[in-house]
């Protein structure tokens, strides 16, 4: 007879394995039962008596929307849970580590890693019950008390590193801004052969000039787009046209492309080799695009005459702060205002007030 009465336990097809000398179990569970069987500590429990962080409810809607918008191709990684009770593993036909994991229904099953995924699953199933038929992998560990559960949380998160924003942009095929950035990196003259795809910073000796994430951010600025906004085919064409046109007026970009100026030297000396310069130029470019063709040429010609050297005092407290480039939004705004001033673009009263406040003058 089984250790547990089958009427009062959960049964999961599972694989048994050993880690650090202790057994753990790899199972799959239907999404519909995840909210019912897995708990997370309530927020009112003091942090020192919990085994995980407080649930950040602001993360849930975005994760829920991801599930609902991508029901045919979403990916959720495994949950990790501690079972606060003895479990029984029944081998299948003498296949040592393959069988059925039985967990008492009154056992406390606490998620050590994945509580936000659990909450998102619960919300998504309310809107789309069919998702409940899908499965998710679960790693079960037998609970050895609060101290061990807290250590598990610390260990599971200690080496978790988010991918760089450039790598995320490269691999994200759902986000239209990422799609456009990839397209520009292969079709717009300033970026072809000069795009760093993997990192969000460029090493001193690199031959690259712009990060893929920097191209995405600058192109959003060019169209005044937010993180959730998409791009149509016309905007894609306009983006390529803008960056190609701008390239013909950026002397140092052309010198790097002609190999008469090294990429390393360019990044060392000029603000236009960095994301802040790219975004500021995009902001200005958005306004230039509202002018007639002849006026646009005049404004682009003005860009040709600007001294883009970091040492130019025009960029002090704008692109440069205490001798270093700053990527803060306020610095991007101040840099764009100075570019507008130097090519005689109109500056609104509101922008002048904001500039004065930011410069504390």
- pLDDT tens column, 134-152: 999 999 988 776 667 667 6
The 8-class DSSP code of residue 209 comes to -
pLDDT over threshold 90, residue 243 = yes
List C-alpha distances in Å: 325 to 276, 299, 322. Answer: 8, 25, 8
Band (45; pLDDT cuts 50, 70, 90): very low
70: number of CA atoms within 13 Å, CB side? 14
Give pLDDT, residue 1. 38
* Whole-model pTM over 0.85: no
Q: Band of the pLDDT at 238, cuts 50, 70, 90?
A: very high
Residues 6 or more apart whose CB falls under 8 angstroms from that of 188 comprise 239, 240, 243, 244, 247
Rounded (10°) angle between helices 329-342 and 275-288: 50
């Amino acid at each position: 007879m089984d250790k547990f009465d089958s009427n009062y336990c959960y049964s999961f097809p599972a694989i048994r394995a050993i880690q650090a000398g202790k057994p753990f179990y790899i199972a799959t569970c239907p999404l519909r039962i995840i909210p019912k069987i897995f708990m997370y500590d309530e927020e009112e429990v003091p942090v020192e008596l919990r085994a995980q962080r407080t649930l950040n409810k602001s993360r849930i809607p975005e994760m829920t929307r991801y599930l609902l918008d991508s029901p045919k191709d979403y990916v959720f990684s495994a949950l990790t849970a501690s079972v606060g009770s003895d479990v029984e593993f029944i081998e299948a036909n003498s296949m040592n580590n393959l069988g059925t994991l039985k967990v008492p229904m009154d056992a406390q099953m606490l998620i050590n890693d994945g509580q936000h995924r659990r909450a998102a699953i619960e919300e998504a199933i309310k809107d789309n019950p069919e998702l409940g038929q899908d499965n998710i992998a679960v790693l079960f560990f037998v609970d050895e008390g609060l101290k061990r559960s807290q250590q598990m949380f610390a260990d599971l998160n200690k080496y978790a590193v988010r991918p760089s924003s450039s790598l995320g942009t490269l691999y994200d095929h759902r986000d239209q801004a990422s799609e456009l950035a990839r397209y520009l990196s292969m079709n717009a003259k300033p970026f072809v052969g000069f795009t760093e795809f993997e990192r969000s910073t460029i090493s001193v000796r690199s031959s690259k000039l712009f990060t893929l994430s920097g191209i995405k951010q600058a192109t959003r600025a060019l169209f005044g787009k937010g993180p959730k906004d998409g791009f149509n085919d016309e905007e894609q064409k306009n983006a390529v046209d803008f960056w190609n046109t701008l390239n013909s007026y950026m002397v140092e970009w052309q010198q790097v492309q002609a190999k008469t100026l090294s990429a390393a030297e360019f990044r060392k000396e000029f603000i236009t080799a960095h994301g802040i310069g790219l975004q500021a130029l995009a902001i200005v470019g958005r306004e230039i695009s509202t002018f007639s063709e002849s006026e646009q040429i005049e404004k682009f010609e003005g860009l040709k005459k600007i001294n883009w050297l970091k040492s130019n005092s025009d960029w002090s407290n704008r692109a440069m702060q205490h001798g270093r480039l700053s990527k803060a939004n306020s610095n991007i705004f101040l840099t764009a205002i100075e570019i507008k001033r130097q090519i005689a673009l109109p500056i609104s009263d509101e922008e002048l007030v904001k500039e004065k406040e930011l410069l504390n003058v």
